[in-house]
């Protein structure tokens, strides 16, 4: 699911799931970018957090903790915007930027999705039911 690459030319799209979403605390960083729509990473992992969510990828989790990650897709044309996002997310120290396949919200039938940059938490072995708020929904997916 995760393509480990740092080539900035791979895709202009960014998948956000937390404070970068519309009407959240850091949405101003995407103010010059184009909102594409809502989407999700099927069985992408989990979201946990303390008011700031962190995306734990599927390969770091027990199978029963894995769910869809819901968020938004933005088209970022300005490399300076991506650089600001990297700074906000402390890439590659706290969060690691990688490419994931994002499907349109409510449509798994598409077959292929859109390759988007996203930021996932870079520390392995983090899942612990005692750490952070569990952002899992009743349907098994994760939303912030």
Domain positions in the chain are: 13-134
What is the SS3 assignment for the chain? Answer: CCECCCCCCCCCEEEECCCCCCCCCCHHHHCCCEEEEEEEEEEEEEEEECCCEEEEEHHHCCHHHCEEEEEEEEECCCHHHHHHHHHHCCCCCCEEEEEEEEEECCCCCCCCCEEEEEEEECCCCCCCCCCCEECECCCCCECC
pLDDT digits (tens, 9 = 90+) for 12-27: 999 999 999 999 999 9
Which CATH code, of 3.40.50.300, 3.10.490.10, 1.10.10.10, 3.40.640.10, is assigned to 13-134?
3.10.490.10
Q: Which residues pair with 71 in a beta bridge?
A: 39
| 116-141 per-position pLDDT tens digit | 999 988 766 555 655 556 788 989 89
Q: What mean pLDDT is reported for the chain?
A: 84
Is 50:19 a contact under the CB 8 Å cutoff? Answer: no
pTM metric for this prediction: 0.86
pLDDT digits (tens, 9 = 90+) for 50-105: 778 889 888 888 888 899 999 999 999 888 899 899 999 998 888 889 999 999 86
> Would you state the pLDDT for residue 135?
87
Residue 11: cis peptide before it, omega within 30 degrees of 0: no
């Amino acid at each position: 699911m995760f393509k480990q690459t740092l080539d900035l030319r791979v895709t202009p799209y960014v998948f956000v799931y937390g404070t970068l979403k519309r009407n959240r605390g850091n949405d101003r960083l995407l103010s010059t970018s184009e909102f594409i729509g809502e989407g999700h990473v099927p069985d992408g992992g989990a979201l946990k957090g303390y008011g700031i969510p962190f995306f734990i990828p599927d390969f770091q989790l027990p199978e029963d903790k894995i769910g869809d990650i819901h968020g938004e897709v933005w088209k970022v044309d300005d490399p300076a915007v991506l650089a600001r996002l990297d700074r906000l997310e402390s890439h590659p120290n706290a969060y690691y930027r990688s490419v994931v396949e994002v499907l349109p919200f409510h449509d798994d039938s598409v077959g292929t999705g859109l390759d988007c940059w996203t930021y996932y938490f870079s520390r392995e072995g983090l899942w612990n039911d005692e750490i952070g708020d569990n952002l899992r929904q009743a349907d098994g997916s994760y939303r912030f």
